[in-house]
A and B are shown apart, each in its own frame.
Chain A
Amino acid sequence: MSARAASAEVRYGPLVAALAALALVAALASLMVGYARLDVPAALADAFAGRSTAAAVVLEQIRLPRAALGAMVGFSLGLAGAALQGLLRNPLADPGVIGVSGGAAFGAVVVFYSGLAGAFALAMPLGGVAGAVVAALLLYALVGRGAGTMTLILAGVTVNSFAGALTALALNLSPNPYAAYEIMFWLMGSLADRSLPQLWLALPLTVVGWALLLASAPALDALTLGEDTAASLGFDLGRLRAQLVAGAALAVGAAVAVTGAIGFVGLVAPHLLRPLVGNRPGRLLLVSGLGGAIVLLVADVAVRLIPVHPELKLGVATALIGAPLLYSLIDRMRREA
C-alpha cells in the first residue's frame, strides 16, 4: 500500500493551489444554486449599490452565509480529522466517529436551551467548544497514545452515546416543551437558512483553532517516526497533544454550534487525499482542510438539487457517503491485521 501511495504522490504546491481553486468553484456553485430562481448578477449589482431588493437580501443574507459557512465548517472538519488521525496514528479518527462532534452538540444544546445563548452572543459557539474539549479529553484519557483501532472505536461509541444521552437529558430539562422535537431538525446537521451573524460569531474561534492545528504539522511528521524519536528531535509531545485537542475543539466546536453535527467529512477528506501527500500527516493538514471544504460544499449543493421535500439534511448526505467508507476501512484493517 505504501508503494502505491508513494507513486500517487504529487507536488505539494500545485496540489494545494488546485484544491483551493476547486473549493472556490464549489463555493461559487453554492451561491448560484438554490430553491428560488435568483438572477445572481443582478442581485450582486443591487447588493454592491446598496439597494436592498429582495434578490439582494437573498444573496447577502441567505446564500452568502450558507456558502461561507459550508467552506468554513468543511475546512474545520477535514483539518481536524487529519490532525486527530495524525495524533492518534489511526485513520479512523474522525471528529464525528470519536465523539468530539457529539460533545460539541451537547455543549451547544445546553447553552441554547438554558437561555444562556440569549445572554451573550458568543455563548453558543463557546458552549460547543467546551463540549468538544470535554469529549476530546475523555477520549484521550481512554485511548492514550497509539492505542489500537478497537479501543479507539469503542471509546468513540462510549463518548458518542454518553453525549447523546446527556443531550436528551438537557432537552428534557429545558423549559421549552417541544425542545426534543425541534432538536431532531438540528442534530442531523444542516446549513439551511443560517445567517451572517452566525458566521461572524463562529469565525474567530474557528480561525484560532485552524492556526493551532496547522502549526502542529512539523511535530506530526516527526511523530510518524515514533514518540521517542519525535521527543529526541525536540518536540514536546505533551504540548503537541494539548495544542491539537484545543485546536480541534475550537474548530469543530464552533462549527457544530452553528450547523449541528455533520459526520464523516473528517474521515472522507483525509482518506482520499492521504496518498497524494505521500502519507505525510503534516502535509495532509491543509490539503485535507481544503478537501473537507470541497466535500461539504458539494454535498450542500447536492441536497438542494435532489428533489426531496423537506430538504435532505446535510449530515444525512455526508453519512450516506461516509458510512460505507468507514465500513470498508474497518474491513480492510481487519483483514490486514
Chain B
Amino acid sequence: MRAIAACIGVALLASPALAKPQRVVSLNLCADELALRLADPGVVKSVTWLSQDPRSANMAAKAAALPANDGHVEEALAYDPDLVLVGPFADPASIALLKEVGAPVAEVGAPQTLDGVRRQIRDLAAALGAAQRGEALIADMDARLARVAVDPSRPRLKAVVLRPNGFTVGPGSLVDEILARAGLDNLAQRLDIAADEQVPLEVVALLSADILILDRDEASAPSLADAALDHPAIAALARRMTIVSLPARLWTCGGPEVAEAVERLAVAAARAREATQ
C-alpha cells in the first residue's frame, strides 16, 4: 500500500490500482451516479438501491440494470472489487474495514462550489481511468451553463429556497452559486444564517421574494419533511410570488446535473419577470 493520496473532491484513501479498475462497487447514491456516467460499460458491478428509484435519482435506468446494495461493506466485498466508492458521510469503521482487507477506496465528497463539482468529476474520472470522459462531461456541463445567459443590466430577482423540514440554503453553498448562475439573489444572505439552517415559514413569507424555490420531487413517497412544503400559506403566497419546484436529485449530489437546475431556475426567473410586468 502506498501513501494516502488526498484531493479535495475525491480523497483516495487507498492507492488506486495502476491499471483501470475493472470491478467497481459504489456504496453511496452520489458516487453511484458519477461512476455510472464516467466508468466504462460493465465496470460498475453494484450501486445502492437509492439510485434505482427514478423519482430521486438521475441515472435510475442504468442503475436498475445492476445488482443493488444497501451500502454495507460486506456486500461490496462480495464482488472482489478493485475500487470501492463511498460517500462523504461514510462510517469511518466501514472505511477502516475496507482498507484492512485491502480494497482500494475512493471517497466522493459533497462539493460546495461549481469548481468543486468540476474537480470532483476530474478526480473520479482519473481514478476510474476515464479522464477523457470526465473532460467531456465537464465541457458539456459548462456549455449548458454558458447558454444560460444572464443580462447583467437588469436588476436581479430575489429568491429564497425552502427545503423539506423547513430548511433554507444560505451563502457559501453550491445551491447559492446555482442561484447566482441563474440570475437570482439568495435572500437567505440577509438572514444571518449558516449554509443549511431551518427557517420558520413566517420568516419566508415576509421576505418579499420574487421567487420561492421548493426543493421537492415531482412524485415521491410520503414524507413528513415535505409536509412543510404543502402548507396552505405557501399556496396563499403563490399569488404574490412565482413558486418553482426543483427536484432534490438535481442539486443534492453536486454532479453535472446541476446544469439542469440552473436552466430550470433561469426559466422560472423569466416567468417571474413576465408576471411582474
Contacts and interface: CB of A to CB of B under 8 A. Distances in A.
Interface of A: 34-38, 52, 54-55, 57-58, 61-63, 112-115, 117-118, 174-179, 181-183, 185-186, 192-193, 195-197, 309-311
A182 B225 contact: yes
A52 B236 CA distance: 7
B121 interface: no
B200 A193 contact: yes
Contacts of A63: 202
Contacts of B202: 34-36, 38, 58, 62-63
Given A181-B225, A185-B165, 10 more contacts: A35-B203, A36-B202, A57-B237, A179-B224, A185-B224, A192-B166, A192-B200, A192-B201, A193-B200, A193-B231
A178 B225 contact: yes
Given A174-B222, A176-B220, A179-B223, A193 B228 contact: yes
B190 interface: no
A197 B50 CA distance: 33
A182 B224 contact: yes
Nearest 4 A/B pairs, CB to CB: A61-B233, A176-B221, A310-B198, A182-B225
Interface residues of B, number: 29
Given A36-B202, A309-B198, A310-B197, A54 B240 contact: yes
B200 A113 contact: no
Nearest to B206: A36
8 contacts: A54-B205, A54-B206, A57-B205, A58-B206, A177-B221, A178-B225, A179-B221, A185-B224
Contacts of B88: none
Contacts of A178: 223, 225
A61 B223 contact: no
B165 A174 contact: no
Contacts of A311: 198, 200
Contact of B206 (A55, A113, A114, A176): A55
Interface in B167-195: 193
A58 B164 CA distance: 19
B205 A36 contact: yes
Contacts of B206: 36-38, 54-55, 58
Interface string B234-245: 001101100000
A193 B50 contact: no
A36 B232 contact: no
B234 to A, nearest CB: 9
Contact of A62 (B50, B197, B224, B233): B233
Contacts of A38: 202, 206
Interface of B: 50, 164-166, 193, 197-203, 205-206, 208, 220-225, 228, 231-233, 236-237, 239-240
Nearest to B164: A182
B225 A62 contact: no
Nearest to B48: A177
Contacts of B222: 112-115, 117-118, 174-176
A74 B168 CA distance: 30
A125 B225 CA distance: 18
B229 to A, nearest CB: 10
B223 A62 contact: no
A117 B202 CA distance: 25
A58 B50 contact: no
A37 B166 CA distance: 19
A176 B237 contact: no
Contacts of A177: 50, 221
A246 B19 CA distance: 70
B51 to A, nearest CB: 11
Contact of B239 (A52, A186, A192): A52
A47 to B, nearest CB: 11
A261 B166 CA distance: 20
A54 B237 contact: yes
Nearest to B239: A52
Contacts of B225: 178, 181-182, 185
Nearest to B241: A54
Given A55-B206, A193-B231, A197-B232, A182 B198 contact: no
B205 A195 contact: no
A106 to B, nearest CB: 14
Nearest to A183: B224
Nearest to B236: A57
B231 A61 contact: yes
Contacts of A52: 236, 239-240
Contacts of B203: 35-36
Nearest to A118: B222
A36 B224 contact: no
B186 to A, nearest CB: 18
Nearest to A309: B197
A150 to B, nearest CB: 36
A114 B223 CA distance: 10
A7 B22 CA distance: 85
Nearest to B225: A182
A35 to B, nearest CB: 4
A182 B240 CA distance: 30
A175 B221 contact: yes
Contacts of A195: 231-233
B191 to A, nearest CB: 10
